[in-house]
Amino acid sequence: MFRIALLLTMFLLACCNRKPPITEVYPFYDGKDLGVAYSPENTAFKIWSPTAVAVEIHIYKNGVGGTPIESHQLHREEAGVWALTVQKDLKGFFYTFQVETKAGKLEETPGIYAHAVGVNGKRGAILDLAATHPEGWEQEQRPQFVNRTDALIYEMHVRDFTIHESTNHQHRGKYLGLVEPGTRNPSGQATGIDHLVELGITHVHLLPVFDFRSIDEADTAARTYNWGYDPQNYNVPEGSYATNAHDPATRIREFKAMVHGFHQRGIRVIMDVVYNHTGATENSNFNLEVPGYYYRHTADGKWSDAAACGNETASEQPMMRKYMIESCLHWVREYHIDGFRFDLMGIHDLATMNELTATLLKEEPSLLFYGEGWTAGASPLPDSLRALKKNTYQLTDIAAFSDDLRDGLKGSVFNHEAVGFVSGAPDVEESVRFGVVAATNHPQVNFAAVNYFKAPWAREPWQCVNYVSCHDNRTLWDKLSISVSEKDETTRIRMDQLANGIVLTAQGIPFLHAGEELLRSKQGVENSYNQPDSINHINWDRKSKYNTTFNFYRELIALRKAHPAFRIKSAAEIRAAVEFMDSPARVVAYRIHAEQLGDAWKNIVVVYNGNDKPISLKLPSGFWTLQHDGQGLTNSKKKVQGTVAVPGIAMMILSQ
Active site residues: 343, 372
Ramachandran area for residue 271 (φ above 0: left; ψ -120 to 50: alpha; else beta): beta
For 167: left if phi > 0, alpha if psi spans -120 to 50, otherwise beta; the answer is beta
CA dihedral 548, 552, 554, 557 (to 10 degrees): 180
Give every strand in the sheet of 615-628, ordered side by side: 578-580, 587-592, 604-609, 650-655, 615-628, 639-646
Burial class (CB in 10 A: 0-12, 13-18, 19+), 146: exposed
- Measured between alpha carbons, how far is residue 9 from residues 1, 18, 558 in Å? 12, 11, 62
CA distance 228 to 211: 8
Q: DSSP labels for 395-448?
A: -SS-EEE-HHHHHHHH--TT-TT---GGGT-SS-HHHHHHHHTTT---TT--GG
Chain-centre distance of CA 507, in angstroms? 19
Where are the strands (E) in 23-126, listed by range? Answer: 35-38, 43-48, 54-60, 70-73, 75-76, 81-86, 94-101, 104-105, 124-125
State the helix-helix crossing angle for 489-505 and 429-436, rounded to 10 degrees. Answer: 40
Residue 642, CA distances (Å) to 246, 590, 623, 624 in order: 69, 15, 8, 9
Neighbouring residues of 647: CB distance < 8 A, sequence distance ≥ 6: 609, 614, 629, 630, 631
**Size of the chain, expressed as the number of residues it contains:** 656
Yes or no: say if 56 and 74 are a contact pair by the CB < 8 Å rule: yes
Torsions phi, psi of 464, nearest 5?
A: -115, 115
**φ, ψ dihedrals at 123, nearest 5°:** -130, 140
Q: Give the residue from 280, 352, 283 showing the smallest Cα distance to 314.
A: 352
Q: How many separate helices (H) and strands (E) can be counted in the chain? A: 14, 25
Which run of H or E residues covers position 589?
strand 587-592
Instruction: Give which of 382, 319, 379, 315 is closest to 349, Cα–Cα.
Output: 315
Distance CA 80, CA 82 (A): 7
The span from the CA of 599 to the CA of 616, in Å, is 27
Angle at 370 between CA 365 and CA 371, to 5 degrees: 150
- DSSP string spanning 92-117? T-EEEEEEEETTEEPPPB--TT-S-B
**Is the torsion defined by CA of 402, 406, 411, 413 positive or negative?**
negative
